[in-house]
Structure 1
Amino acid sequence: MARPRRFRRISQEPQIRCFKPERDDIDNLDSIEILIDEFEAIRLRDYHDIQQKRSAEIMGVSQPTFHRILNSARKKIADALINGNPLVIVGRGHLITYECKDCGFEWQHPHKEYEKCPDCASSNIIQVEEEYSSESEEFLLQRRSYGGRGVGAGPPTVCRCPNCGYESPKELAVPCSNTKCPKCETPLCGDD
C-alpha cells in the first residue's frame, strides 16, 4: 500500500496560471499541466536561487522528494517550450484556509484542523474560505500571498522574544515560534 502524500507548503500563489504559444493551431494542442508544488519548486530553486536543501525545508518535504518535484517541473516546461504546447498551472487537494485574528498570520492545510495559530499560539483563529475551481472540477492547492487586505493584514515582519526583547526578521513560511532566542532560548513570537 502506498504511503499517503505529504502536504507540501506553497508560499506564493501563481499570478498567471496559463501560458500559450502564439500559434494558429493552438486549439488542436494538448496543454501540459504543472502542479502547484512543481511551480513552487521552480519558484524557489530557479527563480529565487535558494539552495535545494533550504528549498525542500521551506516546502516541508525531503531533499530527494524536492529533487523529483523539480525534475518533473523542468521536464514539463522543456516539453512545452520545445513542442509549443500551452502550459497550465493546476493544483490538487482540498485546502482549508485559516487566519489568526491576533497576529494576522494566514495558512492552509488540506487535512488538519487547527485550534491554535502556529505562529503565535493564539486560539483566536477563524476559517476563512475553501477555494474551488469550477473549470477544472477540482479544488486548487493555493496559499494566499501576504499583505493586500488592509492595515495590519498579513504575517508579522519581525519575530521578538517575549522575555528579553531580542528581535530578528521574520522568515517567509517559517513561524516565529520555530525560532529560539539566541540569548535566552525562548521561542520567539510574531510582532510588528
Structure 2
Amino acid sequence: MSRPMKERFVEIPPLYADFKPGGVPGSRLRKLPLGLDEYEALRLVDYLGLEHREAAVEMEISRPTFTRLLEKARNKLSRFLVEGRHLIIGGGQVHFRDNMIKCQDCGHMFKTNMGGPLPEELTSCPSCGSSKLVDLAGGFGHGQCCRKHEEQRGSEEK
C-alpha cells in the first residue's frame, strides 16, 4: 500500500483557472486538468526563477518530488499549447498560505494573510468600498483545509 500524498503548500490561489484556445467552444475541447501543486511548481521556477531546491522548501516537499511535479506540469502545459486543450487549474492536496480577494465592481485585487482577517470578516473593497468581493481561495475549496489544520493543532496541544 502506498503512502498517503503529503499536503503541498501554495502561496496564493491562481488569479485565473480556466484557459482555452480562442474561437473554439469549450464544449468541443478535451479538458486537461492542472493541479494546484503543479501550478505552484511552474509559478515558483518558471515565473519567479527559483532553483528547484528553493521551490521545494517553499512547498514543503522533497527536491526529487518537486522535480517530478514540475516535469508533469510542464508536460501538461506543452500539451495545452500543442494540442489546443481546455486547461483547468484546480484540485490536489494543497494548503494556501495567503489568499487573494477580488472586487467584482472595480477589479481591485488584494492579498490577505490566512493568519490574519478571514475572508468572512472582510466586508468591503479597500479601493471602492463595494461589498461585491470574491474569495479566490474559497473557489478552490479553501476553508476545509484550515479547519483540518485547526483540528490537528488542537489535538497536538492536548
Tell me whether 1:84 sits opposite 2:84 in the alignment.
yes
Shift of 1:20: 1.2
Alignment map for 1:17-28 (pairs within 5 Å): 17-28=17-28
- Is contact 1:92–1:140 with CA below 8 Å preserved after alignment? no
Runs of 5+ unmatched residues, structure 1: 99-103, 108-124, 144-192
Shift of 1:91: 1.9
Shift of 1:89: 0.3
Partner in structure 2 of residue 72 of structure 1: 72
Partner in structure 2 of residue 59 of structure 1: 59
Partner in structure 2 of residue 2 of structure 1: 2
Q: Which secondary structure does the structure 1 equivalent of 2:9 belong to?
A: coil
Partner in structure 1 of residue 114 of structure 2: 106
Please report the TM-score for the alignment, with normalisation by the length of structure 2: 0.61
Shift of 1:95: 6.0
Partner in structure 1 of residue 29 of structure 2: 29
Q: Which secondary structure does the structure 2 equivalent of 1:49 belong to?
A: coil
- Matched letter for residue 51 of structure 1: E
- Matched letter for residue 60 of structure 2: G
* CA-to-aligned-CA distance 1:81-122 (integer Å, 9 cap, x gap): 001111110123586999xxxxx9525xxxxxxxxxxxxxxx
Alignment map for 1:153-168 (pairs within 5 Å): none
Distance 1:141 1:73 in 2: 25
Distance 1:68 1:94 in 2: 16
Distance 2:50 2:60 in 1: 14
1:139 to 127, 138, 141: 141
Q: Who wins on radius of gyration, i.e. which is larger?
A: 1
Alignment map for 1:148-187 (pairs within 5 Å): none
**Aligned pair in 2 of structure 1 residues 27, 141: CA closer, same or farther (>3 Å)?**
farther
**Aligned pair in 2 of structure 1 residues 25, 57: CA closer, same or farther (>3 Å)?**
same
Shift of 1:27: 1.7
* CA-to-aligned-CA distance 1:5-40 (integer Å, 9 cap, x gap): 111111021000011101335422111110000000
**Aligned pair in 2 of structure 1 residues 139, 93: CA closer, same or farther (>3 Å)?**
farther
Distance 1:63 1:73 in 2: 15
CA RMSD of aligned residues (A): 3.3
**Aligned pair in 2 of structure 1 residues 7, 78: CA closer, same or farther (>3 Å)?**
same
Shift of 1:139: 3.5
**Aligned pair in 2 of structure 1 residues 44, 97: CA closer, same or farther (>3 Å)?**
closer
Q: Which secondary structure does the structure 2 equivalent of 1:81 belong to?
A: helix
Runs of 5+ unmatched residues, structure 2: 99-111, 121-136, 146-158
**Aligned pair in 2 of structure 1 residues 9, 37: CA closer, same or farther (>3 Å)?**
same
Query: How many residues align structurally?
Result: 116
Partner in structure 1 of residue 42 of structure 2: 42
